[in-house]
Every structure is written in C-alpha cells, then in structure tokens.
A and B are shown apart, each in its own frame.
Chain A
Amino acid sequence: SQQGEEDPQALSIQEGENATMNCSYKTSINNLQWYRQNSGRGLVHLILIRSNEREKHSGRLRVTLDTSKKSSSLLITASRAADTASYFCATPPDTGRRALTFGSGTRLQVQP
C-alpha cells in the first residue's frame, strides 16, 4: 500500500496563482521529500524536510511538515506554465534504509 498520498489528484490554475498540494503518510519518518515529474520522464528532487523541521523554503517553493498529523504541504507561489507537471511526496522509513515510498501524485496544470 502507498505510504504517502497526495491531495488533490489533479489541480488546474492560472499563471501567477499559487498552488498548494498536500501529502499524508502513515508511519514514522525521518524525512519527507518532494519530487517533480514532467510528462513521464525522470523525477527531479525539489526539497527535503527533516522530521525535526516544520517549514522549509527553496525559491518559490515552501514546504511544511506536521509530524503530529503525519502530513506535509507543498506551496508553489506565482506559478508559471513551466510548473505544469506531476508532483510526488516520498518518504523513507525511519529505520535508516533509503528506499522511498511514493504516493500517486498531484497532476498540476498551469494555464498561461
């Protein structure tokens, strides 16, 4: 079964608007990672947030983590058409092994 589940499954916005995607997970983690995938190609790592962090920024990206609710959110501000992609959250278990468990992703469409 999936460890992380993204919500919503699909999101369509206009250029310049903000996009928020959510991720819920089931077991304890030591970090949570967000990835982007364009049109069935390889995944691009966006940001990693550790379990002792609550918020992290990278350019137009803001990630929050609430370990008490086992949830994370990814905010993309001032979206661009080039942000159109699928976004996945991924979690390794807190046992130290590095295999990632992915959700089904959020498909973001940014209309120019």
Chain B
Amino acid sequence: DAGVTQSPTHLIKTRGQQVTLRCSPKSGHDTVSWYQQALGQGPQFIFQYYEEEERQRGNFPDRFSGHQFPNYSSELNVNALLLGDSALYLCASSQGDTQYFGPGTRLTVL
C-alpha cells in the first residue's frame, strides 16, 4: 500500500511566477491537508480538503488556492510567488484523527 506521494520533489521558481504542487493520498483516505514549513520551524496549516471542497483554511492569503479531485488527490497552487514562499510544502492525508504526511516538495523562490 503506497503512502502519501507528492510531486515534484524540488522546484525552483522566480518571483511573480505561479506554481502547482500535487499530492496523492494514502489509499482509503478522503481528506487532504496542506502545510507550509519554513526552515527551522514547525509546519503551518494552509488548508484542508474533503469531498472536493475546502473545509478549513489557515492564515494564508488568497494567492494560495487548492483543489481536490474525485479520486481524492489534491493540488496546491500559489500565484505571484514571493521570496518568503520558499519552504517545504507538506501534504497529509487522513481518514480519522491521525494524519499521514508525504515527503514534501521543496520550493525555492529566487
């Protein structure tokens, strides 16, 4: 049984560009959450998707948007990239209380 997968592993973009990150949840999991982790910090919650709708959102601007597909996979989109968006982006899937994390996508904004 594959765990949570994310693509790509690494990404380099320049300021002002747009980026799309992808996540496939663990088999049987219907809920996907996205987190941003800056260097040396704990993950910060961005938003959570359930049944293709955004169920909860953290304190992130509208430049951060997402989508969940009928197969429960999800995308995170970030528009008008800023240098401060450089971080590790983690996806987590869940069916109950425990969240299972993917390996993350390392985004560098130059």
| Chain A residues close to B by CB (< 8 Å) | 2, 30-31, 33, 35, 40-45, 48, 88, 92, 97-105
Contact = CB atoms under 8 A, between A and B. Distances in A.
Contact of B94 (A44, A98, A105): A98
Interface stretch (B63-71, B76-84, B100-108): B100-108
A48 B45 contact: no
Contacts of A103: 42
B18 interface: no
B90 A100 contact: no
Interface of B: 4, 31, 33, 35, 39-45, 48, 55-56, 58, 88, 90, 92, 94, 97-104, 106
Interface residues of chain A: helix, strand, loop or mixed (majority): loop
Contact of B88 (A40, A97, A98): A40
A1 B90 CA distance: 19
Nearest to A6: B42
Given A40-B88, A97-B55, A45 B45 contact: no
B42 A102 contact: yes
A88 B42 contact: yes
Nearest to B47: A99
Nearest to A41: B103
Nearest to B46: A99
Given A99-B48, A102-B42, A45 B100 contact: yes
Contacts of A99: 33, 45, 48, 56, 58
Contacts of A102: 35, 42-44
Given A41-B103, A102-B35, 7 more contacts: A30-B97, A42-B101, A42-B103, A42-B104, A43-B92, A45-B98, A105-B42
Given A98-B33, A98-B48, A99-B56, A43 B97 contact: no
